[in-house]
Amino acid sequence: MDKPAPTDNSTVTRRISFPDYELIQSLCGERNAHLGLLEKEVGVSLNLRGNVILLRGRDWEVDVAERVLKQLYGLLEADYPLYPSDIQYAVRILSGDRSVELKTIFKEEVYISSKKKLITPKTINQKKYIDSIKNFDIVFGIGPAGTGKTYLAMAMAVSSLIKKEVNRVVLARPAVEAGEHLGFLPGDLYEKVNPYLRPLYDALHDMMPFENASRLLEQGVIEVAPLAFMRGRTLNDSFVILDEAQNATSEQMKMFLTRLGFSSKAVITGDVTQTDLPKGKTSGLIEAKETLRGIKGIQFIYFSREDVVRHRLVQEIIDAYEKMESQRQA
């Protein structure tokens, strides 16, 4: 977590009282696990006494912890199901911008997964991403792994399908490892391309029960296909997602973007630092970022390590590689 530079190292003690005893228990977590996590994230000492939480630490640390506790309590009052990971996200957000209201982010309901878990944005950029998908027909989500680019886009797509805002969902991915020349691989066409599309299937099955997903796939209401299979098509009344777009060539990106028909949306996700294209091939995502900038109706959302919603070590791994790249360039 990026903490502001302290101006005063003196220790302060503060008390926060909450009226609802049951909500306090949810706020603190089982065996005060949430309080322990908040202590670790911020560096304060927290003690629960009845309906009062005592905070002790440096003034700026106590201030962050107080804001986190009060805003999470407000979310619980609004029937938000609090998860341990929400403590970390709340600390990250409020440490960076103390004026943010967590309700405007965490209460943005995108979809309820097949595991009955509410899918919501967890960072400011994820909220901007969701808002952009709602308001623009073409949205690019660009940033490192683990920032929720594809997962949130798929949640929005499935939600749109269920609400009958679109008639079908198309999920595409470049099969770049095989150069999209799949003939030399063993098996039928499905067996050839399936390994490259497996991550999309996995995310889809997390969104809805396996039987439902299988039925919609069989009916063609949801389609998972290599990017090369998009050529020559026009996609009307569709929600189209291009994943791993950094591995699309310039020609493929143009082909994909011009498939968009009436009453359709397209979301393109990728990480420009992870291109696997052969030398001499231009990444369509990198080119589109420059070429399409400024076109009304197209929105670019850029994610950073602060938006990573995986294991905390993923942030540190991203930092380490970015540092190495900077040293190489220098």
- pLDDT at site 56: 95
Report pTM. Answer: 0.82
In the sheet with 45-49, reading across from the earlier edge strand, the strands are: 11-17, 52-58, 45-49
List Cβ neighbours of 323 (8 Å cut-off, separation of 6 or more).
none
- pLDDT at site 179: 44
Find, among 292, 205, 188, the residue nearest to 245 by Cα: 292
Mean of the pLDDT values across residues 225-248?
A: 93
Mean of the pLDDT values across residues 101-119?
A: 86
Mean pLDDT, the chain, rounded, equals 88
Mean of the pLDDT values across residues 149-171?
A: 94
Tens-digit pLDDT profile for residues 303-320: 988 888 876 677 778 778
Burial of 164 (0-12, 13-18, 19+ CB in 10 A): exposed
List Cβ neighbours of 316 (8 Å cut-off, separation of 6 or more).
none
Tens-digit pLDDT profile for residues 172-197: 998 765 444 545 545 545 555 667 77
pLDDT, greater one: 315 or 90:
90
**Are the beta carbons of 316 and 146 closer than 8 angstroms?**
no
**Are the beta carbons of 120 and 106 closer than 8 angstroms?**
yes
